[in-house]
Amino acid sequence: MRRASDAEDTEETQRTQRNESMVSCYICSMKIIPLSEGTFTIDRTKLFVPFNLSSDDLQKRPTGSLLVEVQPFVVITSEDVLLLDTGLGFSDDKGVMQIHQNLMQNGINPSEVTKVLLSHLHKDHAGGVEKDVKTDHTTLTFPQAKYYIQKNELDFAFKKGFPSYLTEELEILKTSEQVVMLDGNGVIDGYIKYEISGAHCPFHQVFWIVDGGEKVFFGADEAPQLNQMKKRYAAKYDYDGKKAMELRQKWWEEGQKENWTFLFYHDVKNAVYRF
Ligand SMILES: [Zn+2]
């Protein structure tokens, strides 16, 4: 599949790289930092198996395996340090969380994150919401942040459970005072718009961040990779594949008209794409 679109990919990569170099330029008001946790394949077992792009062979993975990146984003606006989804929640042998490590490598202390926006609570997006502190209690990973989640998504996670949701890690969201329960569509602090998209899972939400005349769109698993925005097809792993396909097309058209910046959580090559 990747081979067939090589020419197009090369062109896209060049364009994205050009765009990525603008990520922290003077005319853009927001700074966008992808925090990649690596490349993986995922199949029907819903396990994320690490994949080395230079030495592993996709053909040797089970039929139907998808090649994905897992990458939360930091968006620094004039108001906030936003974190968009929290990744897999993996830690290194010293017990340091990968997401903390990635933030610190970019000069951001985890306590500087002011808002965590969660698209949905699948384990590859919300794995890093809490941290085990090796005692009998756990804490949220970002001590100063407010966490924005859809109330119905939290309820749904506990109904549905494993393997898509790791509910024992989500328990803390039910009681923490740092959590802001959202119900439907709305706007946070006048500049972060959220909307239930409900196609990948019934209460999935997407975000638009508008600051200094720039509009950043985070579609998470409704708009996970650049090539999915261009090809019309319904994916089997979506709760409502047809709706997801239609949403992608609608956003891609609107994004083109309004010069949105797209953030692709699962794209191996194109994390950030600007029209
Ligand atoms: Zn995902």
pLDDT in tens, 141-168: 999 999 999 999 999 999 999 989 999 9
How confident is the model at residue 7, as a pLDDT? Answer: 42
How confident is the model at residue 236, as a pLDDT? Answer: 83
Q: Flag whether pLDDT at 32 surpasses 70.
A: yes
CA of 26 from ligand 1 middle (Å) equals: 32
CA of 132 from ligand 1 middle (Å) equals: 23
How confident is the model at residue 136, as a pLDDT? Answer: 56
How confident is the model at residue 8, as a pLDDT? Answer: 46
* CB-neighbour burial class of residue 14 (10 A; exposed 0-12, middle 13-18, buried 19+): exposed
Alpha carbons 35 and 182: distance in angstroms, whole number:
25
What is the number of other CB atoms lying within 10 angstroms of the CB of residue 68? 20
pTM to 2 decimal places:
0.88
pLDDT per residue over 198-226, tens digit each?
A: 999 999 999 999 998 899 999 999 999 99
CA of 110 from ligand 1 middle (Å) equals: 22
Alpha carbons 7 and 13: distance in angstroms, whole number:
10
Residue with token string 């994949």: 51
Domain residue extents for the chain? 6-274
CA of 43 from ligand 1 middle (Å) equals: 12
pLDDT per residue over 99-122, tens digit each?
A: 999 999 999 999 999 999 999 999
Residue 256 token pair: 């083109």
pLDDT per residue over 61-91, tens digit each?
A: 999 899 999 999 999 999 999 999 999 999 9
CA of 88 from ligand 1 middle (Å) equals: 10
How confident is the model at residue 135, as a pLDDT? Answer: 55
pLDDT per residue over 221-259, tens digit each?
A: 999 999 999 988 888 889 999 999 999 999 999 999 999
CA of 217 from ligand 1 middle (Å) equals: 16
Superfamily of domain 6-274: Ribonuclease Z/Hydroxyacylglutathione hydrolase-like (3.60.15.10)
Residue 160 token pair: 């549905």
